Amino acid sequence: SLSLSLSLSLSVPSWGDWKRTRRRRRRQIQQRHLPVHHPNTNTTITTTKMTTTTTCFLRLGLLLFYFQLGSKNVQAFQISTVPSSHTPQNRQRPWQKQQKNQYSPSFINNDGPTIRSVILWGNRDERRRPSQEGTRTNNNANNDDTTEVLNRKMERLLARANIVTRQHPQNNSNQQQHHSRNHKNNNHPNDNKWQVAHQLGRILTRMEQEGSSAGGAVLSQPNAQSYRLVLRGWASTESREGVIRADQLLERMLLLEQQDDDQNQNNHMKVTLDDFAMVLLAWAKCRDYSKHDPTPAQKAQHWWSRMQDRLALLEQNTVNNHDMSLLADKEMEQKMVKTMRRSYNACLDAWAQRSGPHKKGQMAAQKALDLFETMQQNNNPDLSSSLSTQNQRNHPILQQVTPDAFSYSSVVTALTRLQTRADTAHAERLVDEMTSPSSLSSPHHNHTTTTTFIQPNVFLYTTLINGVAHSYQSLEGARKAEAILNRMSMPITGSGRNHLHPVQPNSHTYQGVLTAWGRSGCGIKGAKRCEEILNHMHDLYKEGNRALKPMINCYNAVLDAWSRSGGGVSAAQHAEAILSDMAKVGDVKPNARSIHSVLTAWAWSGAPNAAEKAEKMLQYFDELKQSDAEAYRDLQPELCSFNSVIHAYANSRRDDAARKAEAVLYRLIGSLGHGGGGTGISGDNAPTRDRRRMRSPPSPDAMSFGGVIHAWAKSKERGSEERAEQILEQMEKQYAAGNTRAKLDVIVYTTVISAWASKGNPVRAQRIFDRMKILATANDDPTLVPNTITYNALLSAWSKSNHENASKQALQLLDEIQESKIVKATCRTWNYVLLCLAKNSTETSALEAERLMNKMVKLYAGGNKHMRPDSFTFSSSISAWEQSKSKHAGEGILRIVDTMEQLYDPNVAASRLHVICFNSAIRYFVDIAKDPYAAEALLERMEKSYLNGQLEGQPDDLTYGAVLKVLANAGKPESAARALNVLDRMQNMYKSGNKAAKPNTICFNTVLTALARCSDRGSGLQSMNLLNKMKDMYIAGNVDMKPDVISYTSVIVSLFRSKENDAADIAMKLLSEMEEKAEVTWDPRIVPGSITFTTVLNFVSKGKTNSAAVQADKLLQHMEELHEKKSDIYT
């Protein structure tokens, strides 16, 4: 008795000590789980907020406990001497945040409170003492009892976080599961589950800590259920960190199971198929990985393979132990089949969600197909040879894991996301296979053959329709999507009870059909069909079909169809009318995509005021917010809407288009200062729900700045090129300030270079080019490396200028291109260099141009198809020789023409002989060399090439006119005859179908001039015949053959020089005819001038007769009278 009293006085504080301690530390005791240090003893009492009555009962309970069990078991409670490291100043509180590795079972921390104190720190209903019913003589019994209490505590934590603790839900709602994955996910979608998982990890860590420190003889050593509850907690977070911890925990459970098997400790740690399925599903649903990252799907497939191995091992152990109860238990077998199918579908869906048209997406789709084929082979033992082991091939559980509706939905999703017609057709065949009767042999029914169906769901058909809409994008796809919609309502009946019920479509299904028609490319017809389907949805909804309530996405599909229809102004007006009806009715509120579709319809309508209408739709966002601030609180224009308005102004023909586009850009930049979309709540003061709903205003990107720069580059305003460079500097400042969307690239710099090139300022263009190269080198940015288009723009600037160093700079840039491994020179690149050399006007430049042309020919012959010389190449080379004024220019020009004809290929458009090249060569021999024979020889080559089928080299009126000109100016005796010959060939060429060689007044006048300069007898009559021919052709309707004053004067001169009989009388008649026509038609082109009168007067005076003198005198008096009258026609 004395020993007991002394022990109590030393171990348990007195009543007064409790009161004084509570008064002194009231604020600390109000918190839960607070360790209290007794002032008089070196003991620490872990307690909770207790009342006086509770303290009295505790003392009485302690006294009775001492009498029954002795002082040895007092250690079961946290009334003990604590080491110095656990003093109130150094001790780690359990509610304080631990390090990440302290929560993992793989990292044990020996500091901190024990698990027995965790029991006392819980809620009142959780503070349970070990059951004292019966006599417990070993620690294992106490261990099971205390572990069970902790397990119940963990189950209650999971239940509060809405985490199922017994079994995962079945996949009975495939549509909801798939649609939930399509939503944008946060890093930790459920913070409550995340906190619960951490709490469970701390509890399990302390359980393992005490189990390892006491050698297993403690009350709280964890069992399989403890690990399983923590595993379920981490798996439920659906985050990267949580899934990784669940993966590590399952690996630890398998290691502990192996250790227990080696020590023959059965019934302690057993890992079930549900544990594997739990981790597999967690990987399949993990939300923190990008859609292109295959890690979750690879992990899910890894655990699926281990599940198969575990299943084979389970069967082997059952057979070795001669325990056939598991194989005979049909309920257990069906449960295992359900678990395996659920895991298989989750792995299949993980690959399906990562499929796409990109390379990684194609690999993911192939993985999904491989898994699906394996599942199909499981049902047929003869075809299951592709499985990994013999045990897996023959296992009855795996043979029952056959595809269901969820399996088909996943593989159809994988195929349709590839967005190709072939893969979509494959998905259609799978749906046909699913809904068609198939003969399936079951190994559990004596291999009897039964006809069975798989009931599809609405998500399967919706996925297939969306795949058809995005892969076909044609009328065929639209009709196919509508046929699938009609097929859903048709039941399929099989033998016995095997039949398929009709599938009720929902709004998502109709949305896919609307999208198919909108992207069918049928224009107005497709848009009208979309509207008809939407009206049909309205009618079905009014009749009572609540699943077909038109959603905002359905309206958006119709608006998008009208914007894609290409109907111009009428389509834009119709789309705007639909949008107005949506806002007025109020049943479905328009969103940003709705307004953007109408805005795009106006932007591409082609109307003169298209840009203004598009900007008006941009202001419609503010109008809707002002009309109903609560309903449209989150409505704000997207970046694509601003970009559409900017590009609409950039493509318009308004004089102030560039200024309007710039105003829209600055409005976009100004919206960044009004965060939250006008909600009035921003920053940390906003509620969590409001911060989640609010979207930050869009910031301008490269397309925004690029559109404004393009508008200024094509503007005709003075200083537009300077303004384009200023916008580029604004873009550089935005990117330096942290706007990564305004990423500088080679396109915007090239646009500014083109702006300076159009104004003929190569120096400023070269400055922008050098700045871009410096940025590309300093930042190691491949998007700023100049490309072929950039070099061509800069070369164009040098070629359009008259700078003295233009040819030198062009050759230097060409050398840079040839040394570069990224930039590939094209024919246009070399043509700009040739043009710069042509403007240099030296023989050296002409030789260099010809050398470059020959090098291009060699590069093309070597296999570089982009270096084939074209007509611009040859004309520039000819122009270089023409401007050189060298005595060897004619030879060089003829060499170029020979090369051009040798390179001719009728199957290549770039090699066709062009009339410009021949005309350039002929122009040199006409204007500079004055060689009629060379000019006529080139004309004959052109006529020959045309008659051989080379239509691009056909001679035109300019060609014949130039040859006739050089012949007329030659002054040789045979020039007139050759000119007449060329004119006859010209007329024959026109009659044969060459409409470009149509004779005109200029050509006839040139021949008349040649005849006038010829003194051969008979030339006058020939001139009269040509003039009469011109009159006849003009009277017949050829307005281009009207004789003018040059025609008449040339004939008079020809008559005078040829000394024809009665030539004077004929000349007087021609002069009178000219005066009569001038008075009647008032055509100044036929009014005789002083030259005509003087020619006739000179001709008459040569008669040397009295009558000739009288006639000459009358003609002179007539000229004086006309001069005195000062008639308007003769002024």
Residue 10 belongs to some domain of the structure:
yes
Q: Which residue has the higher pLDDT, 658 or 180?
A: 658
Looking at 565, 588, 607, the residue that finishes a domain is 565
Q: Above pLDDT 70, what percent of the chain? A: 74
Distance CA 1, CA 408 (A): 79
Residue 839 belongs to some domain of the structure:
no
The helix or strand, by DSSP H or E, that contains position 847, with its residue range, turns out to be helix 843-861
Confidence band, pLDDT 50/70/90 cuts, at residue 168: very low
pLDDT tens readout for residues 170-193: 443 343 344 344 434 444 445 678
Residue 551 belongs to some domain of the structure:
yes
* Structural domain count, the chain: 2
Tokens of 291: 């859609």
Is the confidence at residue 1063, as pLDDT, over 60? Answer: yes
Looking at 91, 108, 137, the residue that finishes a domain is 91
Residue 514 belongs to some domain of the structure:
yes
Is the confidence at residue 58, as pLDDT, over 80? Answer: no
Tokens of 1129: 């026609």
Residue 198 belongs to some domain of the structure:
no
Q: Which domain holds residue 62?
A: 1-91
Confidence band, pLDDT 50/70/90 cuts, at residue 307: confident
Give the closest residue to 769 by CA, choosing from 751, 779, 778. Answer: 751
Residue 286 belongs to some domain of the structure:
no
Distance CA 211, CA 1104 (A): 149
Tokens of 5: 């009293």
Provide the residue type at 4 as one letter. L
The helix or strand, by DSSP H or E, that contains position 47, with its residue range, turns out to be strand 44-47
Confidence band, pLDDT 50/70/90 cuts, at residue 318: low
Q: Above pLDDT 90, what percent of the chain? A: 34
Confidence band, pLDDT 50/70/90 cuts, at residue 495: very low
Residue 462 belongs to some domain of the structure:
yes
Q: For 361-419, give the DSSP string.
A: HHHHHHHHHHHHHHHHHHT-GGGGGGSSSHHHHH-HHHHT----HHHHHHHHHHHHTT-
Tokens of 62: 């302690």
pLDDT given for residue 493 in this prediction: 60
Mean pLDDT of the chain: 78
Is the confidence at residue 691, as pLDDT, over 60? Answer: no
Do 1086 and 1080 form a contact (C-beta atoms < 8 A)?
Answer: no
pLDDT given for residue 220 in this prediction: 66
Helix 475-488 and helix 458-472: axis angle, to 10°? 170
The helix or strand, by DSSP H or E, that contains position 440, with its residue range, turns out to be strand 438-441
- Look at 43-47, 133-137, 854-858 and tell me which has the smallest mean pLDDT: 133-137
Distance CA 953, CA 911 (A): 11
Do 286 and 241 form a contact (C-beta atoms < 8 A)?
Answer: no
3-state secondary structure 981-1008: HHHHHHHHHHHCCCHHHCCCHHHHHHHH
Is the confidence at residue 212, as pLDDT, over 70? Answer: no
Classify residue 273 as exposed, middle or buried by CB count within 10 Å of its CB (0-12, 13-18, 19+). middle
- Look at 8-12, 245-249, 497-501 and tell me which has the smallest mean pLDDT: 8-12
Q: What average pLDDT does this structure show over 939-958?
A: 86
Q: Which residue has the higher pLDDT, 43 or 281?
A: 281
Do 120 and 149 form a contact (C-beta atoms < 8 A)?
Answer: no
pLDDT tens readout for residues 1011-1026: 988 878 788 889 999 9
Q: What average pLDDT does this structure show over 94-114?
A: 37
pLDDT given for residue 37 in this prediction: 42
Give the SS3 label for residue 235: helix
- Dihedral through CA 358, CA 361, CA 365, CA 368, nearest 10? 170
Do 664 and 618 form a contact (C-beta atoms < 8 A)?
Answer: yes
Looking at 524, 546, 565, the residue that finishes a domain is 565
Provide the residue type at 352 as one letter. A
pLDDT given for residue 704 in this prediction: 93
User: How far is the first Cα of the chain from the last one, in angstroms, to the nearest whole number?
Assistant: 153
Give the SS3 label for residue 625: helix
DSSP 972: -
Q: What Å distances lie between residue 1017 and 263, 503, 1013, 1024, 1055, CA to CA? A: 135, 102, 12, 13, 9
Q: What average pLDDT does this structure show over 881-894?
A: 91
- Look at 186-190, 647-651, 1026-1030 and tell me which has the smallest mean pLDDT: 186-190
Count of alpha carbons within 13 angstroms of residue 467, beta-carbon side: 31
Query: What backbone torsions phi and psi does residue 714 show, to the nearest 5 degrees?
Result: -95, 0
Classify residue 371 as exposed, middle or buried by CB count within 10 Å of its CB (0-12, 13-18, 19+). buried
pLDDT tens readout for residues 594-641: 999 999 999 999 899 999 999 999 999 988 888 888 888 888 899 999
Query: What backbone torsions phi and psi does residue 30 show, to the nearest 5 degrees?
Result: -65, -25
Only one residue has tokens 């006309």, namely 1122
The helix or strand, by DSSP H or E, that contains position 277, with its residue range, turns out to be helix 273-284
Confidence band, pLDDT 50/70/90 cuts, at residue 403: confident
Residue 98 belongs to some domain of the structure:
no
Q: What average pLDDT does this structure show over 723-731?
A: 94
Helix 702-714 and helix 657-670: axis angle, to 10°? 160
Is the confidence at residue 1005, as pLDDT, over 60? Answer: yes
* CA angle 16–22–26, rounded 5-degree value: 160
Confidence band, pLDDT 50/70/90 cuts, at residue 194: confident
pTM above 0.75, yes or no: no
Do 341 and 404 form a contact (C-beta atoms < 8 A)?
Answer: yes
Distance CA 181, CA 173 (A): 13
